[in-house]
Structure 1
Amino acid sequence: MTAETIDRRSTGLFMPLMLVAAAIAIVTFAIAGFALMTQGHAAFNMDANVAWGLPISTYVYFALMSSGLTLVAALAMVFGFKQYYPLIKRAIWLAIITLVAGLAVLALELGHTFRMLWAIPLNMQIQSAMFWMGVFYLLDLIFMAWKFQRMERGDWSSSLSRQIGIASFVAVLLAAGTLALIFGMMSMRPFWYDPTLPVWFYATAGLSGIAALVFFTYLSYGMNTANMPKALRLDLEGPLPRLFLAMLGITLVLMLARLTTGLYANDPGVNVVWSDYLLASGWFHLALWGGLLLPFLLMLGRGLRRSAGLQMLAAILVLVGMFIERLYFVVGGQVVPLFKGTWERDLVAYAPSFTEWVLVVMGAAIVFALYALGERLFNLSDMPDQNEVEERLEREAAAAAAG
């Protein structure tokens, strides 16, 4: 039985998923659109103090997830780690659709969804980091779609295909780095003001991208690895969970370093946010201990991290935890009143509105609908040189078992 046949068998559940998710996306878009037409930006619980709320954090969540998926794909298409070939077509498709979902949420948050299509590029605000973030993510989207089209035609390693992969990798590094600098260059927001913020964004992007790849791959095969192509199954039993564990460890160390530095910072705009806002919230503790530490512990054992169920659980915990972290990161930089000094006694209160939560559901529904469409139309487990990849993965598995 060929990988193509096996992959097509896995898509039986995706027609109902696609229809349900598409219906949810349309309904939530209509609700959000009606709220914006009747209430304007007042449909969001944001003001002069908290100008960026749940919609912006949702955009950051999906945009960095897309970046992480592209970075995972770059392991094979740029750096030549052929053992990751069974993953990269699905990773690139997920990178495309998560970026589309993030941009859709951002477009509605801006208020003038269609005006931005001509106003932003024609204004040419080249001194703005936001302008360049948009340019780089647009280039990233174009290169990813082009690379996917080349793979769909069977061109994985021609000179043009490799150059497109390299261009996508460079674009995503610039896009995610510029997104980090939008926050990290704001000296008036001490919690965000950090030249190392791009490192945090790259690490968490990689982690959320791997979690999304694990989640959707197992979803495609109903948690049954016996239905997977052999090379894909070997990848999910070896290289991918080890990479998942490594990124969990790196992210956990970076988070604890940021937390420790924040608690001991002399600047009250940093210290107070960590002590009185983040660590005072049960949701943030859930993101930290449940979304980072628990998955790390689950993936530590060699036998445990080969388990499909535990990988899926770890992926879900990370995806939920990173969503909470994005919200608390975006809002946390704004809870200290701007330019009011330490005489302002209370932190700024913010709770997302119903319309803001509708946008979150819309973004998630777009991802599920487009992923199901991709499973229906394409063989997302396709790869070149399947025998060579399988032999390499079997050698790695044997070496790991012997070690």
Structure 2
Amino acid sequence: MSNAQPQPSAAHQARHQQPQDPAKNLANKRLAILIIALIGLLVAGGQTIANLASQGHSAFNTTNLGLYWGLPIVVYDYFLLTSTGLAMVATLAIVTGAEDFRPVLRRAVWLALAGLLGGVVVLMLELGHPLRALWAIPFSFAFSSPLYWKVMAVSFYVLSLLVLLYRLLRTDWTLSSLRPYALVTLALALGVTAIAGVVYGSQSFRAFWASGDIPVAFIFESLLGGLAFIYFFSYLAYAFNPKWMPADLRQLFDTRLPTLLSLAIFIHLLFVLARLSSGLYGNSEGLQVWQHLASSPLLYLEISVGLLLPLILLLAPLTRTHAAAQIIASLLVMNALLIARYEYIIGGQLVPLFKGSWAPDLLSYMPSATGWLLLLVAIFLSNAVNAFGELKLGLGRS
């Protein structure tokens, strides 16, 4: 009796030696990202709501001594300005006829909507009566308040993004046919960003914030965030595997985009260093915050690791077209912008407006657990919306 085992057929061997379908594998990875984001959103959102229900607004560690805006406002502004930056990158490409940006247009507009949704949800949870704000702010007619115009501009900005996305999702679009819609969205994105700068820059009673260049600085900061998000989330859409990326997208990432991102980093770095130097040598009441920030490791982490290192990676010939270097650079920039937003919003409130025996020279602030949870809510929600778009809307098609 023979002990030989039956040999599998040639067809059976060929079937098991075939590589897994990249499209199916990619869809599975995107589905996994969506599921993880939804689970994270459920956990972080549930705990946030529970904390707010039991602690109220005291869950944010803000005080009535003058520090009214904490980490939730930082997160809201960060995601709002990132959204407008993404919209500006996409619409500028359309308006200028940059055909090589076609592979990222849909993704940039969808990311702008996803990021804006994450930021607005955080703002709604930070407000004491979020549902009341939906009608009370528009009908307050507070025409002299920059915050009123910011809310109104954001409302029209959302509508313009939806119209532009609808046109982009059609198969017969051209850059010339999208130009009228892109011009409207670009104007509104610039308006939202500039008004956000006016909200802070016009407050002459807070010397740390007050400056006429803040709206312009916000615009360049937004563009930097938009470029970094396009890089990182495009790689994420293809599971960080450059071999799965379309050739035209890979070409864009290796030619024009490293130059644009490095230029945006350099300009933003100039704004940071200029404000730091003028603040350290200024003698106006309120500018002493710069001495406090200059002693903080966060500032040096932002400048050296978050800005200078990515700039080197994107300028060096050996790394500027390397996928890992581009991913790391974009991720570091995204975190540097969050640090910058935190330092700017919190730092501007550290000097009490009305000093007395009851107030220290500088106020202190530490983000609460609920504040960090709201950051996670924004991250998970934005990633869930983005992953859904990658799965269902074909954002990578040019």
- Equivalence map 1:334-373=2 (5 Å): 334-340=349-355, 346-373=361-388
CA deviation digits over 1:99-143, x for unaligned, max 9?
A: 110101011111212111122122222221111111111211111
Does 1:82 find its partner at 2:99?
Answer: yes
Q: What is the Cα deviation at residue 97 of structure 1?
A: 0.5
1:333: which partner in 2?
A: 348
TM-score, normalisation: structure 2: 0.91
Does 1:115 find its partner at 2:129?
Answer: no
Aligned equivalents of 2:50, 2:141: Cα separation in 1: 30
Does 1:70 find its partner at 2:87?
Answer: yes
Higher mean Cα deviation, 43-52 or 6-15? 6-15
Q: What is the Cα deviation at residue 96 of structure 1?
A: 0.7
Match of 2:197 among 174, 180, 184: 180
Q: SS where residue 269 of structure 1 aligns? A: coil
Change (3 A) 1:167 1:342: farther
1:248: which partner in 2?
A: 265
Check conservation: 2:97, 2:176, Cα contact below 8 A: no
Q: SS where residue 222 of structure 1 aligns? A: coil
Aligned equivalents of 1:210, 1:159: Cα separation in 2: 23
CA deviation digits over 1:372-401, x for unaligned, max 9?
A: 101110111222xxxxxxxxxxxxxxxxxx
Alignment-mate amino acid for residue 375 of structure 1: E
Higher mean Cα deviation, 90-99 or 78-87? 78-87
Check conservation: 2:97, 2:175, Cα contact below 8 A: no
Does 1:36 find its partner at 2:48?
Answer: no
1:379: which partner in 2?
A: 394
Q: What is the Cα deviation at residue 252 of structure 1?
A: 1.0
2:295: which partner in 1?
A: 280
Alignment-mate amino acid for residue 267 of structure 1: S
Match of 2:249 among 232, 245, 268: 232
Q: SS where residue 349 of structure 2 aligns? A: coil
Alignment-mate amino acid for residue 27 of structure 2: T
Unaligned runs of 5+ in 1: 384-403
Aligned equivalents of 2:358, 2:298: Cα separation in 1: 28
**Identity between Structure 1 and Structure 2 (%):** 36
Unaligned runs of 5+ in 2: 1-20
Aligned equivalents of 1:6, 1:256: Cα separation in 2: 46
Report the number of matched residues.
Answer: 377
Higher mean Cα deviation, 208-217 or 158-167? 158-167
Q: SS where residue 27 of structure 2 aligns? A: coil
Check conservation: 1:155, 1:161, Cα contact below 8 A: no
Q: What is the Cα deviation at residue 293 of structure 1?
A: 1.1
Check conservation: 2:160, 2:184, Cα contact below 8 A: yes
Aligned equivalents of 1:114, 1:343: Cα separation in 2: 35
Alignment-mate amino acid for residue 379 of structure 1: G
Check conservation: 1:11, 1:220, Cα contact below 8 A: no
TM-score, normalisation: structure 1: 0.89
Aligned equivalents of 2:169, 2:271: Cα separation in 1: 38
Change (3 A) 1:288 1:252: same
Q: SS where residue 69 of structure 2 aligns? A: coil
1:143: which partner in 2?
A: 160
Match of 2:237 among 213, 220, 239: 220
Aligned equivalents of 2:24, 2:273: Cα separation in 1: 43
Aligned equivalents of 1:9, 1:375: Cα separation in 2: 14
Does 1:303 find its partner at 2:303?
Answer: no
Q: SS where residue 62 of structure 1 aligns? A: helix
Match of 1:100 among 94, 105, 117: 117
1:401: which partner in 2?
A: none
Q: What is the Cα deviation at residue 224 of structure 1?
A: 2.1
CA deviation digits over 1:239-290, x for unaligned, max 9?
A: 11111111011111111111111111121411x11112x1111122111211
Alignment-mate amino acid for residue 232 of structure 1: L
Alignment-mate amino acid for residue 59 of structure 2: A
2:327: which partner in 1?
A: 312
2:219: which partner in 1?
A: 202
Aligned equivalents of 1:198, 1:334: Cα separation in 2: 19
Check conservation: 1:96, 1:141, Cα contact below 8 A: yes
Higher mean Cα deviation, 119-128 or 288-297? 119-128
Q: What is the Cα deviation at residue 42 of structure 1?
A: 1.1
Aligned equivalents of 1:125, 1:24: Cα separation in 2: 38
Check conservation: 1:337, 1:347, Cα contact below 8 A: yes
Q: SS where residue 189 of structure 1 aligns? A: coil
Check conservation: 1:75, 1:84, Cα contact below 8 A: no
Check conservation: 2:95, 2:175, Cα contact below 8 A: no
Aligned equivalents of 2:36, 2:320: Cα separation in 1: 32
Change (3 A) 1:18 1:146: same
C-alpha RMSD over aligned residues = 1.9
* The structure with more radius of gyration: 2
Q: SS where residue 320 of structure 2 aligns? A: helix
Change (3 A) 1:8 1:382: farther
Higher mean Cα deviation, 257-266 or 190-199? 257-266
CA deviation digits over 1:31-75, x for unaligned, max 9?
A: 222222222211110012210010000011101111111111022
